[in-house]
Each structure stands twice: as C-alpha cells, then as structure tokens.
Amino acid sequence: MDTHVVIMAGGIGSRLWPLSTPERPKQFIDILGVGKSLIQLTVERFLPVCSPDRFWVVTSRKYVDLVREQLPAIPADQILAEPEGRNTAPCIAYASWKIAKKYPEANIVVTPADALVLKTAEFAETIRKALAAAEGTDAIVTVGIAPTRPETGYGYIHASEPVRGKVVKVNAFKEKPDLPTAQSYLADGHYFWNAGIFVWNVGTIVRELRAHAPQIAGVMDELEPFFYTGGEEEALSRLFPTCEKVSIDYAVMEKSRNIHVIAEDLGWSDLGSWGSVKGHIVPDADGNAVIGGDVRLFGCKDCFVHTAGEKTVVVEGLEGYIVAESAGRLLICRLSEEQRIKAFSAEKN
C-alpha cells in the first residue's frame, strides 16, 4: 500500500497566547514540556504506518523554515507553502492534487499538526484499519474518539453503530453542542468526538471535491500543470487565494454519502486551550499544574502556571487561574474566562 500522510500545519493557536503566537504557533512548540513540539509528536505517531519520505506538510509560507528545522527528514518539496490561509478544503485539495500527479494510487491520511494522542499503539492500529477500508474503494473514513465526558468544545460524529474499533457508516456530523446535548450524546453511545483525521484514496477525494466543491477543484486543475516545476510558486500565489474559503467538513464531509468512521479511545485532545493542556499535567495536592523552571506557589489552588523562560515565578493566593509567560508576554487569567484569551491578546487599535 502506498500510504501518504498530509499534516495541516497552518493554524496560529490564538487561544494559547502568550506561548502560541502568529510568529511561532502551538504546533511548533513543546507545550507539554516533553522535549518535542506537537508537530514532531504528530510525525512520530504516524511512523509505524508511513515512511518519512511519504509525509507532506501544508503550512503558511512564513512557517516553512520552522517545518524544515523541526522535521528535517521530510523532503523539502513536500512542504507545501500556502500564500494565504483559505481553510481546510483548499489546503487538502492542494496536497491531494499534487500527490495525485506523482502517486495516482496513493492512500492518504490527513491530520492536524497540533493534537495530542497518548495511546500511540492503539492509534497506529486504528489508522491501519482505516487505510485498509479506504484502499481501492470510494470510502472516506474519519477517525472518531470515544468521548470520556460531555465535551462542548468539540464537534461530534453520529455513527450508525455504537461500536469501537470497527469501520461503520456515518449518519451525520454535529456542531459543538450545548451541555445538555453533549450529555445526551454521551448517554446515547452512537456519538464520537470529531478528531479532524481523514483517510481516503487520492482518487476518491479528488472526485468528491469535484462533485461538492467545483470552484476549488477548478482552481486546482489550473494549478496542476505547474506542479513540480519552477513556475509553481508564482502560479500558487496567483491562483490559490482565489479558492473559496471553506472547511473540508462543510465542503465534503457533510455532503458526501460515503462517509465512515472508526472510533476508539486514543487518549486524544486537541490541546486547544490552556485548560485542556492543564488536564494532561499531573497536579500537586492542591490541584495546581506547572510547566517551566523555578515556579513557587503559595496558597494557590487549581492553577496552571506555564513559564517558557528560566525566570523565578512566585504566585500567591490565586485559585483557578492561568499564569503563562513567554517572550516578554504575560497572561494572568481565570481558567473560567479562557475562551476570551483570543480577544484579550488582540492587537490594540
């Protein structure tokens, strides 16, 4: 099987400010203090199913050097640089058309760059099963995560059967629910978190995009003669920004009739907020979690302190707060208000 992995790495991770910034977003940062960035961990978990010369990264032009620095084993011409972000459908289309030109029988896994998976052996086995189901068929297989709580921050997949470890049909995709709806999903058993990981044959996704996103497909057809030539960058600069700005979920997944899901408990998190990061750090007796150097807490409870520098940090008397410091930026914010961090960190007018 000719397996390729496409990593989407163009996001800016604004909810993890000040650690994640537009200059160096979260996928390139060692957020968990484990010595590897999130994109390096992503590559590592796919190595059991794909060789390094079959990895592709789609990112912003301004992050190409970061990708090369952190992932030197990936061929330079497989780091695809978007001139501007147009959401996930054009991102996936660009990678798919380019792969199709050189590897017309390829089977592709598309994944975000910035999620966490703790159960890596189970993850690799799940991806193998998804690839086997997609090979030589028109099936699109998405990876679902068995929910462990009534989470309101994730989208959900409504599966035809409440089973794990087996590829089954998808009934519907659901937007992020309110708490009562999330509780009903958890109780029902047919609903799984949407991890944004997709598996398909390259011919399948090209046909699906032609059927459901013809404007984007038309742009890719114009671009295709320039692939692997000296004119690709100029053509990309001219044509890619004309793509409709739309997610793959809306462009294809919600419209196609041949969507399947394989769900499993994989210890997955999208690490989209400080609270989700805190949940993966072993707390002290007072519920405080710390990543960084010399951090001293006095009378604190249920706080998360993340320091990127080597400074001494002293915190006294806080309960339920985030304290995060990086590159001359400091955030002190209640965990209950973390969804407002993007607004808090916006540039002054």
- Contact predicate 32/291, CB 8 Å: yes
Where are the domains positioned within the chain? Answer: 3-269, 274-344
The predicted structure's pLDDT at residue 327: 83
Helix (H) or strand (E) holding 46: helix 38-46
Mean pLDDT value across residues 168-191: 93
Angle at Cα 69 formed by Cα 65 and Cα 72, nearest 5°?
Answer: 115
187 falls in which pLDDT band (50, 70, 90)? Answer: very high
The CATH architecture to which 3-269 belongs is Alpha-Beta Complex (3.90)
Mean pLDDT value across residues 138-166: 93
The torsion angles phi and psi of 156, rounded to 5 degrees, stand at -125, 155
Nearest to 208 by CA among 147, 153, 257: 257
CB within 8 A of 99, min separation 6: which ones? 4, 6, 56, 106, 108, 202
Residue 42 has pLDDT above 60, yes or no: yes
Task: Please state, in angstroms and as integers, the Cα–Cα distance from residue 299 to each residue in 153, 302, 307, following that order.
Answer: 31, 10, 19
Strands (E) across the chain are located at 3-8, 55-60, 79-82, 107-112, 116-117, 140-145, 156-159, 167-174, 191-201, 259-264, 268-269, 289-291, 294-298, 304-307, 312-316, 321-326, 329-334
Task: Please state, in angstroms and as integers, the Cα–Cα distance from residue 48 to each residue in 5, 14, 55, 178, 221, following that order.
Answer: 12, 31, 12, 37, 33
Residue 349 has pLDDT above 50, yes or no: no
Mean pLDDT value across residues 235-261: 93
The predicted structure's pLDDT at residue 240: 97
pLDDT digits (tens, 9 = 90+) for 9-32: 988 878 899 999 989 999 999 988
Residue 298 has pLDDT above 90, yes or no: yes
Annotate 142-161 with b (16+ C-beta within 10 A) or e (fewer): bbbbbbeebbeebebbbbee
Residue 137 has pLDDT above 60, yes or no: yes
Q: What is the Cα–Cα distance from 145 to 157, expressed in whole angstroms?
A: 9
Q: What is the Cα–Cα distance from 29 to 27, expressed in whole angstroms?
A: 6
Tokens representing 32 are: 């968990």
pLDDT above 90 coverage of the chain, percent: 81
Q: What is the Cα–Cα distance from 258 to 160, expressed in whole angstroms?
A: 13
pTM of the model: 0.93
